[in-house]
Amino acid sequence: MKSFVYVHEDSDFTIYNIPFGVFKKEGHHGVCTRIGDTIVDLHQCTTTTIFEGIELPEGIFSQRYINSFISLGKKITREVRRRLQNGLVTGGFLDNDMFKESTIFISSDEVTMLLPVHIGDYTDFYSSREHATNVGIMFRDPANALLPNWLHLPVGYHGRASSIVVSDTPIHRPSGQTMPEEAEKPVFGPSRQLDFELEMGFIIGKETPMGQTISTDKAEEYILGLMLFNDWSARDIQKWEYVPLGPFLAKNFASTISPWIITLEALEPFRISGPQQEPDVLPYLRYEGSKNYDIHLSVDIITESGASKRVSTSNFKYMYWNMCQQLAHHTVNGCNVRVGDLMASGTISGTTPDAYGSMLEICWKGTKPVQMPDGTERKFILDGDTVVMRGWCEKDGVRIGFGPCDGKVVGEWK
């Protein structure tokens, strides 16, 4: 497939992608997709017959959030995406001078991308075996790095949705309590160990009532698509506060997501089988088929002066527990899910140090600093640094990507 719209060969937004997002331009906003560097305004598309026959409520694409649209169900979202894809190929419905010169198409540099989803509940898992092992070695016991439950269930906790922000939102260094080494009392002050966590998040597109479980083989019906997710973490605050209930203020000050929801349909060609699970899991966590995705991931740190260093190259395929198992586990007790809920994977670390998904692991608790090209070094993230996350899939000449998941640390709240 090829589009009549120019698409650079390295673009995340090829004709195979067709993600959903929400843009803002001169005071109005709306649901859109993107092809190359061109935004396609879906509300303006409804002035044509491109969606003819699809039951779309009036004004569904001119809303601030995408929730109403995705709550129409996968049959509708899938068909809208298919029509857009067919319309954007060379010779397709939109390949017409009248449309090309209309307000349907907007240059991407004329818009600001907004947080696309009104996120209801947010859950963070801990599903990378390599990450859990690294953390276990550093903070507990190298001989028993994984806790006894880890290979039997996808460990998770309920996070905070209110402070999830879209790519490019400035990140403030949190203050809080820490317990310095060998001190007798905790102290209060700005975190000195601000870190990122390289994760992916998925958005729930279909709700369940309380009491209904979601089986692993039905789970994909409830997942609209994926985004990049940076679970910013203050390690010094985390270390002191996390016992016994887990992370709290060390993580709820901000999380960054990329602005585009990449649908499961777009990711279909990049399915891959996950790691062998040993020991056997309980029946409700068993699954059939390939449930992992081959998504290349990277993290760069860019300093205030513009010096840039790639500190991680990982892949979503390393996840030990897949999204279907996470959702089956999340609902096995009757917990309901709602449209717009976000579930994140947990830090995605690969097997080698260059594939670790947090500075905590990359610098091994500060013992192996990263050398930056400007001569400075990093153990954690400093004020003025921008953390840049990218994700993309590539196979048989087909490429799709996730767009930016960037955040600049601007110092403390004033």
* Part in contact with Mn ion (CB under 5 A); list of ranges 87-95, 117-125, 180-188, 260-268: 117-125
Nearer residue to Mn ion within complex by CB, 88 or 135: 135
Q: CB 410 → Mn ion: shortest distance, Å? A: 22
Nearest distance, CB of residue 304 and Mn ion, angstroms: 26
* Least CB distance to Mn ion at residue 169 (A): 18
- Evaluate the CA torsion angle 153, 220, 116, 357 in order and state its sign: positive
Residue whose C-beta lies closest to Mn ion: 231
Measured from the CB atom, the residue of 84 and 362 that comes closer to Mn ion is: 362
- SS3 label, residue 134: helix
DSSP 150-198: TTTS--EEE--STTEEETT--EEEPEEEE--TT-SS-EEEE-S-EE--E
**Cα distance between residue 297 and residue 306, in whole Å:** 21
Minimum distance, C-beta of residue 344 to Mn ion, in the bound complex (Å):
6
Cis peptide before 279 (omega within 30 of 0): yes
Q: Identify which of residues 231 and 241 has a Cβ nearer to Mn ion in the complex.
A: 231
Q: How far is CA 345 from CA 36, 131, 274, 316, in A?
A: 28, 11, 14, 9
* Alpha-carbon gap, residue 294 to 310, rounded angstroms: 20
**Which listed range, 149-157, 192-200, 317-325, 367-375, lies at the site for Mn ion (CB under 5 A)?**
192-200
Stretch that binds Mn ion, among 48-56, 191-199, 290-298, 303-311 (CB under 5 A): 191-199
Using omega within 30 degrees of 0 as the cis cutoff, is the peptide bond preceding 244 cis? Answer: yes
Cα–Cα distance for residue pair 32/19, rounded to 1 Å: 8
Question: Phi then psi for 245, rounded to 5 degrees?
Answer: -100, 0
Nearer to Mn ion, 197 or 341 (CB): 197
What are the structure tokens assigned to 185, written together? 């009392």
CB-based burial of residue 107 (10 Å sphere; 0-12 exposed, 13-18 middle, 19+ buried)?
exposed
Stretch touching Mn ion by CB under 5 A, among 195-203, 256-264, 272-280, 389-397: 195-203
CA angle 344, 398, 99 (to 5 degrees): 95
Q: How far is the CB of 275 from Mn ion (least distance, A)?
A: 19
Active-site residue among 8, 28, 43, 131? 131
DSSP-based three-state secondary structure for 76: helix
- Closest approach of Mn ion to the CB of residue 371, in Å: 26
Is residue 124 near Mn ion by the rule CB under 5 A? yes
Binding range to Mn ion, per CB under 5 A, among 121-129, 174-182, 356-364, 401-409: 121-129
Please provide the distance, in angstroms rounded to a whole number, between the alpha carbons at the two ends of the chain: 51
Per-residue binding letters, 223-242, with Mn ion (x by CB under 5 A): --------x-----------
8 given a catalytic annotation: no
- Judged by CB under 5 A, the residue of 130, 197, 385, 406 near Mn ion is 197
Closest distance between Mn ion and the C-beta of residue 73, in Å?
30
Q: Tell me whether strands 296-302 and 398-401 are parallel, antiparallel or unpaired.
A: unpaired
**Which x/- pattern, by CB under 5 A, does the window 319-348 give for Mn ion?**
------------------------------
State which residue, 229 or 270, has the beta carbon closest to Mn ion. 229
Residue 337: which residues within 8 A CB-CB, separation 6 or more?
121, 204, 207, 208, 214, 222, 327, 330, 331
Closer CB to Mn ion, residue 12 or residue 199? Answer: 199
Q: 12 or 197, CB closer to Mn ion?
A: 197
Size of the site for Mn ion (CB under 5 A): 3
| 361 scored as a contact of Mn ion (CB under 5 A) | no
Interface with Mn ion by CB under 5 A: which residues? Answer: 124, 197, 231
Active site residues: 131
